[in-house]
């Protein structure tokens, strides 16, 4: 186990994928970060993991245009106040729109929580996967944790 200079445990890739899968089961939300000509944009999305790729179902529009065929970042985290620990996993890689999704693609993709879910599936190849786990300050509230990191 490696601990960085701030006291965070640097997670091995298998543990990062375990936490990604755990995140799907516990909340199913992550954040998709894309670059645009104006500024980076981060959007909350529902996600799933299949064969180590992150799947996101989106609609036609800005996010599809900004992410499809581009390098993106996808992040999931969780704060466990009872256990006194938090973790974060970051996946960076090429996002590809699955052209003609098969039944297996559709079954594997998440159903978004928005009123009108899209019918496009974005697959994020895990080129770089990193993660950290760290103890929370004793008695810290979620807002305190955000301010201290």
What pTM was computed for the model? 0.83
Calpha distance 118→56 (Å, rounded):
10
Name 31's bridge partners. 44, 75
Q: Is pLDDT at 19 greater than 50 in this prediction?
A: yes
Q: Give me the residue spans of the domains in the chain.
A: 2-148
HSE-up of residue 71 (Cα within 13 Å, Cβ side): 4
Residue labelled with tokens 């909340």: 27
CATH superfamily of 2-148: Electron Transport, Fmn-binding Protein; Chain A (2.30.110.10)
Model confidence pLDDT, tens digit, residues 71-119 = 999 999 999 888 899 999 999 999 999 877 777 777 777 777 776 767 7
User: Is pLDDT larger for residue 60 or for residue 14?
Assistant: 14
Location of structure tokens 């960085």? 4
């Amino acid at each position: 186990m490696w601990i960085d200079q701030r006291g965070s445990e640097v997670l091995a890739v298998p543990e990062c994928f375990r936490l990604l899968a755990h995140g799907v089961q516990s909340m199913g939300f992550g954040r998709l970060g894309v670059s645009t000509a104006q500024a980076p944009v981060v959007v909350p999305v529902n996600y799933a993991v299949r064969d180590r790729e992150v799947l996101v179902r989106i609609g036609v529009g800005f996010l599809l245009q900004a992410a499809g065929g581009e390098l993106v970042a996808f992040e999931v985290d969780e704060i466990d106040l009872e256990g006194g620990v938090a973790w974060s996993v970051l996946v960076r890689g090429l996002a590809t729109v699955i052209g003609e999704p098969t039944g297996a693609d559709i079954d594997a993709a998440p159903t978004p929580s928005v009123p009108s879910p899209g019918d496009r599936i974005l697959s994020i190849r895990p080129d770089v996967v990193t993660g950290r786990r760290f103890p929370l300050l004793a008695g810290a509230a979620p807002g305190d944790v955000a301010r201290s990191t």
